[in-house]
Chain A
Amino acid sequence: MFANLPYLTVVVLTVIGLSIILLKRNMVKVTMGLNILTSAVNLLIIVLGYREGGIAPIYTLAPQTYMVLPTPQALCLTSIVIGVATTALLLSFTMVIYRKYGTVNVAEMRELKE
């Protein structure tokens, strides 16, 4: 079970993130839920690159050639940057809506109907 612990963490974080997005009414909380979901996927990407007994992927004076994969680290970094931009834009939208509508409750900002 301990070998699978990172994957279980990913599942738990995904479920928490999705349930926040689906169930919560406050826009700031929905932004936090999206952040948690992004963190779950980043953790999954990093964990996939791990090799038991591998060292950091640096060639200079390497004591062995069995290394962890470096590509997932680059993927995760790009994803974190995208997450920062996403969070900043969502929070800006929430601020403008608060100024116009007076609420951050998703159920009350329903001016656009059929």
Chain B
Amino acid sequence: MIPQFLWDHAPAMTVAVPLLAAFLCPLIGKFTATGRKAWVLAAAAATSALALFTAWRVYTLGTWVYVFGATVPNLSVPPDSGGIPIRIIFEVDAMSALMLVIVAIVGFSVILYSLSADGKRSGLEGYYTLFLLLIASIVGMVSTGDLFNFFVFFEISGLASAALVAYRVEAGRAVEAGLKYFVVSTLAGIFMLFVIAILYGQYNALNIAMLASRMQFTMLDKIALVLIIGALATKAGSVPMHFWTPDAYALAPSSVTALLVVASQASLYGLFRLIFTLYNLSLNAATVGWVLIILGVLSMFVGVTMAIPQKDVKRLMAYHAISQTGYMLLGVGTGLAVLGNVAMLDAFGRMAMEGGIFHIINHAIYKGLLFLTAGAIIYRVGTRDMNRMGGLGHRMKWTMIFFMIGALAIAGIPPFNGFASKLMIYESVYLFNPVLAIIAMVVSILTLASFVKVFHSIFMGPQLPEYEHVEEAPTAMLWGMGILAALVILFGLFPQQVVDSLITPAANALLDQSGYLASILGGA
């Protein structure tokens, strides 16, 4: 049923298809505009299908190694190379497969939404080219097994997303936000390049598996670890480096913001991949784990307290995105802190990591949903200021339902998916250190409080006279939001099945460094 071609080449096709579509987009757009919309939708559907197929095959059959430019796709160590893996190698293991699932779901919903939300902008051939390039770069970032390839896709995503954030040139503030974001992102990229130079200079290898097998934790490697945490946590939006997040998320077009969330999480994935697979037990796990936990707790707290007084609805949601990133760092940091201690790892360390990783996919889905609903409201009403909105629940019923689903999910109310992952984080972190779990619960309550405020000020109240003409959002937007909302409910109703089939293999793949090495080094 599935052609043999896909069985052999799907990881490369998942990157090649959006690239090809992005390069053909301006040409097609010059002739017809409707043709461009159909082309972009077809490209997004094809990319999502390929990503889901790759993820399915990795979950059922194990890690997929794909070598670019070899004679057969899985020949990572050619017979005449002396036992060293050569060429760029894409290694898709279960954690990468989870990120591919996220990109597939959110990427398709966002493009479906953007067909009607961004239909009236000018300069659209550049817009969709950059959009598809951003999707291609996120797919590349999560699939690759080569450190320099990761850096190249990281820079492509920074360029594409900065240009998309500054897209609305006629309003000067969007360009200011894009400028701020781009300077921070470039600085992070330069520090990543320093790390590559340090690691390459010591071990003469760029492949993550090869570096991991040659790693001795010298002083230079400690410096490299600090730079990795600094650069990748900056792009993920955690607290001491979070200043670009509110501006960039608030002023980008709404479909771009939902995809920026996924790009930030791809950087977070890069951080976890480099810490767990490149260093693993050679580093001082307790110290680095506590560093991640402290970053997480600061992000949670600062994010939610800065969110409460906001008047701009998207800026408020951006601060909540910072806060939820803190949950992921807290969960995985707890798992890292007990990495050396097998008893504690089995007791609560694995559950903490599963909670953190489950929160990644949950956050992408409900945060994407929230940003898309905010975009629908702004599209109809024309302003982002919540003090001027009110009584929209009378007219925009579906948008109100989707917003309510997203808000309850982010606050951690059962039966939505936020509750499942937050409960796993609370339980396991409580066994590690009770104070952290209590801080996490307080932050969750404050999240609920701020979203009650937002819901009330936008949707409740009497119908305002200046919004008499406001109708429901267009159909394509509703379908895009509907896909994400259905997944929020689905993941919330069956969390045990989701954890067993998607999350536990991902956490095990992250913890199991020898399996990763064996796929590339121990034979073909």
Contacts and interface: CB of A to CB of B under 8 A. Distances in A.
User: In the complex, are there CB atoms of A and B closer than 8 Å?
Assistant: yes
Given A85-B159, A89-B163, A89-B182, A78 B152 contact: yes
B187 interface: yes
Interface string A40-76: 0100110010000000000000000000010110010
A34 B169 contact: no
Interface stretch (B73-81, B89-97, B188-196, B485-493): B188-196
Contacts of A79: 193
Contact of A111 (B169, B173, B178): B173
B189 A89 contact: no
B197 A89 contact: no
A79 B196 CA distance: 12
Interface residues of A, number: 31
Classify the interface of chain A: helix, strand, loop or mixed.
Answer: helix
Interface string A71-111: 11001001100100110011001101100110000000101
A112 B166 contact: no
A37 interface: yes
A111 B172 contact: yes
Interface residues of B, number: 33
Classify the interface of chain B: helix, strand, loop or mixed.
Answer: helix
B186 interface: yes
B206 A71 contact: yes
A94 B166 CA distance: 12
Nearest to A18: B187
B190 A93 contact: no
A21 interface: yes
Nearest to A72: B200
A114 B306 CA distance: 9
Contacts of A111: 172-173, 176
Contacts of B251: 112
B354 interface: no
A93 B179 contact: yes
Given A86-B159, A90-B179, A94-B179, A41 B172 contact: no
Contacts of A96: 166, 169, 172, 175
A97 B170 CA distance: 10
Interface of A: 21, 27, 30, 34, 37-38, 41, 44-45, 48, 69, 71-72, 75, 78-79, 82, 85-86, 89-90, 93-94, 96-97, 100-101, 109, 111-112, 114
9 contacts: A21-B183, A34-B186, A38-B190, A45-B196, A82-B155, A82-B189, A89-B162, A100-B172, A114-B306
